[in-house]
Each structure stands twice: as structure tokens, then as C-alpha cells.
Structure 1
């Protein structure tokens, strides 16, 4: 990354870092999409099993991998402060922690998986596919967690284009092995939906090996000599990583798990309502890739500037990110409003489902506006290593305000399923306002006071 002096230079650097992150996130989103879509072509039971397995895995993975996102602000600040010699030590400790976390998840999963599936009252075939899919996926868990550390290092140097290239290379690998292992082509075993689990695990190994190769051999990563010395395990450094990472991980977990909770609570509604809700939520999740990517870019840029004690520049990047997210949100809101029925028709040909989906997409419009404020602020605060307030606001906005409010509206009024959307929007709005107040305090009071000056 470069030191910037003019706003035009900041905008250019912002987009250079943002666009590859956005493509990377869309690529990762597509990987799960191909797993479900290609399993669906095999059989209904298989797609149901893969969907159930994925719904269990995604909140757990996103929450735990969020812990490892602590690497990004730590390394960004070290680079900004020109303490490059400390970077390899932090990365190696992060790799050690990632391996331990992955092993613990595999052990805990082997104990709790069957009880969880048994409690869901699934058809025997669906139960078996979901179980075997997750077992297959676990074979790639260790490399996946290591890759998260390596990707955080790559991104923290501002080289997000490299992460994008690795992700784009992984997509054809995933699709190829899905084809070979789901359908049993070219002598490979025909495993159905379970094959997508093995295909994804293989893909995780591939992208991790590519990341290792890049970091060892390609400038500027090779200059850091990350794997030249394997330091002793430092529980003190782990504690530093966890102090920042655990609040980030729990914040993400609260955010992703709330939608699974709402889906479970909506199981009492008819099939048309459930299907319409899932379609609208899926499209809203797709649109969320933009504010999420802006958030990740801001963590890198703000961390770099804060490490160099350029607080004015850090504030300016935060404003650029929030302004950009709001503009994109307004554009997406306009698209949703004008084309909600064509969007619904992409997912279904059932007229009743299409009509109700179009109705739910109106609520998704308000989702975009709240996310456009909340997500960039979260990323900015992570750049300052200020993460505990974000964790508390995620708990408060989603689980203390959003879910109970939605439940009351859905069950004690005539709003029905729409009540859950109103509840979540209410929680998101409260969360966005709370985060905005925290950002103002951090930028105007906490950090100027900490560094003994104000810009």
C-alpha cells in the first residue's frame, strides 16, 4: 500500500483494494451455490441433505474464521508503523492457532453432529447425506483455517488482487470435482450430494497450497520470509490474537446465525411463505457482498493509517467507505423496487411464490440501507482494533431487539411472516446508530487522546 495525500489518491487506492475483495467474496459465495445447485440436479434428498449440512456449517465457520480476521488489523498496523520484522511472528502464531481451532472443531463436531441432526426430525436419507457431507467437508477444515490466516496476511499488504486470483482459480476446481464425485464420472465414485463435500475439501487443500506458493515465492510476500523460522508456540501472542478475534468472530456468528434462527421459527408457516422468505433472504445475502467487501477494505486501509498514526487519513477513508456503501445501497434499493418481480422470477416459476417473494423484497430494500451504514463502520472500527463494542451491538441488535421484536410482530399481529423482517430491520437500524456513535467517539476522542494529539 502507498501513503496517500489527496482524496483522489485515496479513492484510487480504495477501489484497487475493494474490487478484488468483492470478486473474491462473490467467488466464495458461488462455491456454496454450486454445491447446492449441482446436488439438486442429482436428487431432492441429496440437495436437502447438503442444504441442511451447509446451514449448520456456515454459521460455525463464519464465526470461527472471524476470529482469524484479527490478523488483518494487526498486520496492517504493523506495516503502517514500519514494524515489518514483527509480521512473520504474528503470522506463524496465527497458523498454529488456526490448526488448533480446526482440530477442536473436528473433535467437537464428531460428538455433537448426530445429536443435532437427530433433533431435526429429518428423513433417513436426508439425515445420512447431511452427516456424510459434513464429515467429507471436515477433511478440508485444517487447510481452510490456515488459508484464512494466509489470506489475511495477503490482504493486509493491500494485495487483494492475489486473493481474488486464488479464489477464481479455485472455482473451476470445485466445479470439476463436484461433477466427478457427485455424478461418478470418468471412473470416480458416484457419491451424490456427499461428493460435493469431498470436492469442497479438495478445493480447500488446493487454495492453501497455492497461497503457500505465493507467499514463499512472489514479491512482496517473499520479502517477509514468513516460513523461514517456525517460532515456538506463544500463548501470549495467541491471547493477543484472541482478544481482537473473538469479539469479531462472535459478532459475525450472531449476524449469520440469526437468519438460521428466523428460518427455524418460520417453519410453522405454509410452504409458499417459507420458500418466498428463503428466496428473498438469499437475494439480500447476495447484495450484502458489497457492504461486506467495503468493510473488509476499510479494515486494511484504516489499520494501515492508524499504525502510521495518520488519524486524519484514517477518518477520511472511513467517510469514503460509508459514502460509497450508502450510494451503492440506494442504487440496489432502486433496482429491488423497480425489478422485484423479475428478480423473483429468476428463482421460481410459481406465481404465488413469485408474488410473495416480490413483497418480501421490499423489506430487503430497508436491509440494504442499514447494512450500508453498519458494515463499513464495523470494518473501520476493526482497523482501529476496536472490536468489543461491535460484538455487544451485534448481540443487542440481532438477538435482544431484532428476534424478539420480529417474533412479537409475527405472532401477536396480523403481519405474519413479514413481522420477522420488520423485527430484523428494527434491530439493524438500532445497531447501525449504535456503531455510528462508537465510531464518532473513537475518531474524535479515544485515538487522538491515546496518541496525545488531535488532527
Structure 2
């Protein structure tokens, strides 16, 4: 292999790493907020911890539908950025702003009305259902701000500028963690401070699970305004002139963006609900089972942040290189991303094997919850490779704008295969019902099927893209 090729590979790895690290840091920060909240509420009461877990199971699907859709915008912006088309970036951003305004109101109203009905469907005990509803209603106050923040982050990521991810999520930790503790326990915790605080702060009542939602909503609004100010003032966005004046809705382009972005939101939703639906299905099994499932899911999700962040970076570079009309470099980036995803999965499993028990112990002091969580963690280790591969390959396919097939594969794999097998094993097993273990085996099968099918599709997509490039190159040569 030539030295120039080696240098090219090292340069590519460094470029991906520079994009990945802020995204990874931001995702870890987001997970840290969630994990710290779960830990805080777990030490407050098991009932409130279970209420947050069930509330998250209802909140997260809507959130991920939105966040996944915005990831499609990142790919679109990155393609325009590579092609040096700032006017198209500005136009598409304004179309997404209009979409976000309408979608934000619709989702908020839908979840507000549907929450009691969903709690009843999954037979959550009355006390658990009431606490979970209060948590969701508090979160919904911050939903419009969260959507605006995600929209601006997708814009920045598409511009190959991922640093704001880290900056503003660290800001979120600084705001959210002490605020969550205060809202859970009430103003009495301020008595221990070595300095004086206003009396009204001491009178804040303990909100329990609802306090987690209140703190999150306040944090969402603060970081959204901070990110908005950043995009107004930072020089990297100056050429786009996004905030110079609004661009009216262009319905044909809005329709095209929805066709591009919504399948990705559905794909992310399909995977996430494989986990969150289990939390709802576990509700009749009791608060301890729900709590064990939730803290294990949070730990597995924390490990998943690395391949997911790397996948986003690969998607950004693939989209950018295709905008630059460099399909060979896009292909090399994709193949390198797959190889590194395998390495990441192996490292994740080793980390869980060594530190998993200690990490789970942070979130609960209940011995039965901890023991069950350890067993679930071992099952989670089995699908690390499949999860890392499917995350990376689906991100690469987004970079190639092959979005709809990703949606079909994920829905088929996670629901028609994974969920069906999980429910069958949980309810019936082989000789006896497997309970929550059956659901986790089903998730493992679903993720593995997704990884295989996405791999086959990606090979076809890359080959087709290269054939198109060579055909164009041949036509240009003939014309000369």
C-alpha cells in the first residue's frame, strides 16, 4: 500500500475524529443528564423512579421521531455545504423552521391528550400513572424549545461545525443537575448552603418525579436561546445569512424535505421504541422490573453513544464528499466507518464487563433491582456489535440519501421480528414465560437482522453510486 494512501487514511481518520469528539461529548452530556436524574430520583423513591421510567418511555418516541428527522436535515445541509451552495442552505433551513413550528405544536398537543390514555392501555398502577403523567406534562412545557435547539444543532452539524454540540450540552449539565436536585427534593436542600439564598427558594416544595420534568423544561429553553444567539453571532454561519430575513414557505420543497427527513425519524423511532415499549410492557410486572429495565437501558444507551456519534460524523463526511463530487472518497469513508464500528463494539463490551456492576450500582440501592439489571446487562452485551454496525450503516445510507429503505429495514427488523419474538418469549418462552428476559432476547434478534439487511443494502448503494460516477466520467471523456 502506498504511503500517500496511508496518509490519506490517517487524514480521513483525523477528520472523522474531529467531527466525532464534540458529537460524542454532547451525547455523553445528554446521557449524563438523564442518568443523573434517574440516579437522583432513584434515591428519592422507587415509585418516582419508575414513574420517570414510564414517562420517558412515552416521551422518548416523539422526541426521537423529531430528532431523527432533523438528522436527515444534517445530511441535506452537509451536501449543500460540500457543493458550496449557501443560498440552498438558507432556503432549506427556513423551510425546516416552518415545519418545526407546525410539528412542535402538533406533537405537544398530541402527547398532552394521549398520555392518560396510554397509561391506561399499559395498565400502569394508579400511583405510578399519576406521577408519570405529571412528569410528562412538565416536560411538554420545554418541547418547543427542545425542537428549536435540535434544529439549530442539525444546521451546525451539516456545516461540519460540531463543536456547539459539546458547548451547549455541557451548559445543559451545569444548569440541569443542580436544578433537578432542587426540584426533586424541594427548597429544604438549600439549608446546607454556606451562603444565603432568598426565602422564596427555601419554600419550593418537593416535586419528586415532576421535578425532573420541570428542571428539563427550564434547561431546554435556556440552551435554545443560547444556541440561537450563537448562530446569529458566529462567523462560520455568516456566509449563509440565515437570519437576514425570513423566506416564505415553499410547499414543493417542504414536501421534498419531509420525504427526505421523516423516514429517518421513523427509523430512529422504530429502534428506540423497541426499548421504550418494553418499559411500558413491563409496567404490570411491577416497579422493580421497570426500574431495572430502565437503568440497564440507560447504561446500554450510554455505550451506544460512541458508535452513534461516529456514525453521524461518517454521514456528514459522506454527504460532504458527495456534494464535492468525490464518490471515491465517500466510499472510502463509509468502509472505514464500518471497520471502526466493529472496533468500538468490542471496546464497549470490555468496558461493560469490567465496570458494568459499579455503574449500575450508582443508580439504585435496591438489591433486587440491581441483580435483575446485571442480568439484563449481560444480554445487552450480546447485541453491542449488531447495534454498532446498524447505527453506522444506517447513518452512511443517510449520507447517500438512501433514506426510505432504511425505514423499511428498521421497522421490519425491530417490530416484525424483534418485538414479535420478544413478546412470544416473554409471554410463553420455551417451557415457561421468560418475562423481561424474553423482551431483551427479542431486541437482540431484531438488531442483528437489521445489521445484516442494512449491510446488504449499503453494499448495493455504494456499488450503484460508483457505477453512476464511472458512467459520468466516461461520458465526459467521450465528449472531450
The reply to whether TM is greater than 0.5 is yes
Match of 1:190 among 205, 217, 220: 205
Match of 1:296 in 2: 312
| 1:401 and 1:426 in contact (8 A); partners too | yes
Deviation of 1:14 after TM superposition, in Å, equals 0.5
Shift of 1:412: 3.5
Return the offset for 1:221: 1.4
Q: Tell me, in whole angstroms, the C-alpha distance in 2 between the residues paired with 1:45 and 1:359.
A: 22
Q: Deviations over 1:398-449 (max 9, x none)?
A: 1111122233344241472433333222221111111111111111114532
Q: Could you say if the C-alpha distance between residues 159 and 404 of structure 1 is closer, same or farther in structure 2, counting changes exceeding 3 Å?
A: same
Structure 1 residue 175 displacement after superposition: 2.0
Q: Match for 1:12 among 11, 14, 21?
A: 14
| Alpha-carbon spacing, 1:125–1:391, altered in 2? closer, same or farther (3 Å) | same
List aligned pairs for 1:176-215, cutoff 5 A: 176-185=178-187, 186=198, 187-188=200-201, 189-192=204-207, 193-215=209-231
CA contact (8 A) 1:24 1:164 kept: yes
Matched position secondary structure for 2:238: helix
Structure 2 partner of 1:438: 457
**d(CA) in 2 for partners of 1:305 and 1:200?**
37
> Do the aligned partners of 1:284 and 1:367 also contact (CA within 8 Å) in 2?
no
| CA–CA separation in structure 1 for the residues paired with 2:90 and 2:465 | 29
Contact map agreement 1:67 1:248 (CA 8 A) in 2:
yes
Instruction: Give 5+ residue unaligned stretches, structure 2.
Output: 1-5, 188-197, 475-480
Residue range with higher mean Cα deviation, 424-433 or 41-50? 41-50
Structure 1 CA distance, aligned partners of 2:30 and 2:395?
Answer: 19
Question: Whose relative contact order is higher, 1 or 2, with alpha carbons under 8 Å and at least 6 apart?
Answer: 2
Shift of the 269–256 alpha-carbon distance from structure 1 to 2, 3 Å rule, reads: same
* Alpha-carbon separation, structure 2, partners of 1:237 and 1:168: 35
Residues 74, 316 of structure 2: 8 Å contact kept:
yes
Q: Select the residue among 154, 157, 175 that pairs with 1:155.
A: 157
Alignment of 1:112-123 (within 5 A): 112-123=114-125
C-alpha distance in 2, partners of 1:19/1:290? Answer: 9
Shift in CA distance, 359/200, structure 1 to aligned 2, threshold 3 Å: closer
Report how far residue 261 of structure 1 moved: 2.5
Contact kept, 8 Å, 2:19 with 2:313, in 1: the verdict is yes
Aligned CA RMSD, in angstroms, stands at 2.6
Q: Cα–Cα, structure 1 residues 451 and 205, in superposed 2: closer, same or farther, change >3 Å?
A: farther
Q: Residue 380 in 1 paired to residue 396 in 2?
A: yes
Which residue of structure 2 lines up, in the alignment, with residue 63 of structure 1?
65
Kindly state the Cα deviation for residue 382 of structure 1 after the two structures are TM-superposed. Answer: 0.7
Could you tell me how far apart the structure 2 residues matched to 1:283 and 1:37 are? Answer: 12
Query: Which of residues 11, 27, 32 in structure 2 aligns to 1:30?
Result: 32
TM-score (norm 2): 0.87
Counterpart in 2 of 1:315? 331
Mean Cα deviation higher: 129-138 or 182-191: 182-191
CA distance in 1, matches of 2:114, 2:72: 28
Report the more deviating stretch, 17-26 or 345-354.
Answer: 345-354
**Residues of 2 paired with 1:447 and 1:323: CA distance?**
20
Range moving further from structure 2, 83-92 or 176-185:
176-185
TM-score scaled by length of structure 1: 0.91
Q: Distance in 2 between matches of 1:176 and 1:446?
A: 50
1:68/1:98 contact within 8 Å kept: no
Greater shift in the superposed pair: 35-44 or 54-63: 35-44
CA distance in 2, matches of 1:173, 1:434: 42
Contact 1:448 1:454 in 2 (8 A): no
Looking at structure 1, the residues matched to 131 and 75 of structure 2 have their Cα atoms a distance apart, in angstroms, of 39
Cα 1:347–1:51 shift into 2, 3 Å: closer
CA apart distance, 1:352: 5.8
Residue of structure 1 aligned with 2:430, choices 410, 413, 417:
413
Instruction: Give 1:298 shift.
Output: 1.4
> How far 1:102 moved relative to its partner?
0.7
Q: Which residue of 1 aligns with 2:136?
A: 134
- Unpaired runs of 5+ residues, structure 1, are none
Cα offset for 1:268? 6.2
Give 2:415's match in structure 1, choosing from 399, 403, 424.
Answer: 399
Aligned to 1:426: 445
**Deviation per residue, 1:247-298 (Å, 9 max, x gap):** 1011111111111223344456587766554443332222111111111111
Tell me the SS of whatever aligns to 1:233. Answer: coil
Shift of the 124–358 alpha-carbon distance from structure 1 to 2, 3 Å rule, reads: closer
SS in 2 for 1:288: helix
Figure out how many residues of one structure are paired with residues of the other and give that number: 452
SS in 1 for 2:244: coil
Q: What's 1:79 paired with?
A: 81
